[in-house]
């Protein structure tokens, strides 16, 4: 499967997001990963739909919106209107996962599900035929710059096997602790959408960082 690189703007300069996104556009990013945190599901509070709407006017890049909020059903319409191309909801945040995913799809947008490191695949097994992508969290959500959790690789492998066995076509995204080494392990396990925050933005040269990650998996 084609590898896509999705820099997370969580590690970008929030006072200059417009230019940060423009930089990503010029640097070969395939998607922009946007982390929405509510201070309840996770400790941090980041950005919401109004900020995404403002950014939308400045780029045509694909907006991969990762909702880390409780009661996501309350907010879906606002994020659709803001210009999200994909909305990912956490399986741990809703009682009605199937209904929510189908509602996102009814707006013509991609609908994806995320699971925390400790959440087993069986929790989302019944919606694997509904989703466009499964986001396997490779750190506990809430912060950038954390250490990759290795046991999540087995979940990626199992998901990839299930996909083949059942003939599904969802993509597998990984998020958290991605660097030149961990990216190789994730892709080997079956992931093809790679989120990277601190690795990209803490590098002096964003373009070089993106290129390096892509090259690591092409070897
Ligand atoms: C964490 C976020 C990630 C974060 C990853 O909850 O979902 O997208 O930006 O940051 P790094 O790549 O620094 O681990
Ligand atoms: Zn994320």
For residues 35 and 66, is the Cβ–Cβ distance under 8 A? yes
Distance 17 CA to ligand 1 centre (A): 16
Predicted pLDDT at 218: 85
Question: Taking the C-alpha atoms of 135, 145, 4 and 210 in order, what is their torsion angle to the nearest 10 degrees?
Answer: 180
Q: Is 176 annotated as a binding residue?
A: yes
DSSP of 88-133, one letter per residue? EEEGGG-S-HHHHHHHHHHTT-EEEEEE-TTS-GGGTGGGTTT-SE
Residue 8 marked as a ligand binder:
yes
Residues 7, 153: Cα–Cα separation, whole Å: 20
- The first and second tokens of residue 148, run together, are 């990759």
For residue 165, the CA-to-ligand 1 centroid distance in Å is: 30
Q: How far apart are CA 206 and CA 29, in angstroms?
A: 10
How many of the other CB atoms lie within 10 Å of CB of 157?
Answer: 15
Contacting residues for 93 by C-beta, under 8 A, at least 6 apart:
41, 67, 68, 69, 70, 71, 72
Say if strands 171-175 and 193-196 run parallel, antiparallel, or are unpaired. Answer: parallel
Cα 196 to middle of ligand 1, angstroms: 7
- Counting from 1 in the atom list of ligand 1, the atom nearest the Cα of 10 is 9
- From ligand 2's centre to the CA of 7, what distance in Å? 9
The Cα 151–Cα 39 span in angstroms is 26
Nearest CA to ligand 1 atom 6: 141
Best probe residue, ligand 1, of 7, 8, 199 (max atoms within 8 Å of C-beta)? 8
The residues carrying an active-site annotation are: 35, 175
All structural domains of the chain with their residue ranges: 4-218
- The class (CATH top level) of 4-218 is alpha beta
Please name which ligand lies nearest the alpha carbon of 146: 1
Pocket lined around ligand 1, Cβ cut-off 6 Å: 8, 10-11, 33, 35, 66, 139, 141-142, 144-146, 175-178, 195-199
197 among the known binding-site residues?
A: yes
What does the pLDDT profile of the chain (219 residues) look like in tens digits?
A: 689 999 999 999 999 999 999 999 999 999 999 999 999 999 999 999 999 999 999 999 999 999 999 999 999 999 999 999 999 999 999 999 999 999 999 999 999 999 999 999 999 999 999 999 999 999 999 999 999 999 999 999 999 999 999 999 999 999 999 999 999 999 999 999 999 999 999 999 999 999 999 999 987
User: Could you tell me which residues are beta bridge partners of residue 90?
Assistant: 114
Sign of CA dihedral 210, 19, 197, 108: negative
Q: What was the ipTM of the complex prediction?
A: 0.99
Q: Do the bridges between strand 110-115 and strand 193-196 make them parallel or antiparallel, or are there none, so unpaired?
A: unpaired
Instruction: Specify whether the CB–CB gap between 154 and 174 falls below 8 A.
Output: no
Rounded Cα gap, residues 216 and 94, in angstroms: 36
Distance CA(46)–CA(4), nearest Å, equals 24
Q: Is 129 annotated as a binding residue?
A: no
pLDDT of residue 1: 67
Q: Are strands 86-90 and 110-115 parallel, antiparallel or unpaired?
A: parallel
């Amino acid at each position: 499967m084609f590898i896509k690189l999705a820099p997370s703007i969580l590690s970008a300069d929030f006072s200059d997001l417009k230019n940060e996104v423009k930089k990503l556009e010029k640097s070969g990013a395939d998607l922009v990963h946007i982390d929405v945190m509510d201070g309840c599901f996770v400790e941090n509070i980041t950005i919401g739909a109004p900020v995404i709407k403002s950014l939308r006017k400045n780029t045509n890049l694909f907006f991969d919106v990762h909702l880390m909020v409780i009661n996501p059903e309350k907010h879906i319409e606002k994020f659709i209107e803001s210009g999200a191309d994909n909305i990912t909801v956490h399986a741990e945040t809703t009682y009605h996962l199937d209904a929510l995913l189908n509602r996102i799809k009814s707006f013509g947008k991609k609908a994806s599900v995320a699971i925390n490191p400790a959440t087993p695949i069986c929790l989302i097994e019944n919606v694997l035929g509904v989703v466009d992508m499964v986001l396997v969290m490779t750190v506990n959500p809430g912060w950038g710059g954390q250490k990759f959790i290795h046991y999540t690789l087995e979940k990626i492998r199992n998901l990839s096997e299930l996909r083949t066995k059942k003939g599904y076509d969802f993509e597998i995204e990984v998020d958290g602790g991605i660097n030149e080494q961990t990216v190789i392990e994730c892709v080997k396990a079956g992931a093809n959408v790679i989120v990277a925050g601190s690795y990209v933005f803490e590098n002096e040269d964003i373009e070089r960082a993106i290129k390096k990650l892509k090259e690591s998996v092409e070897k």
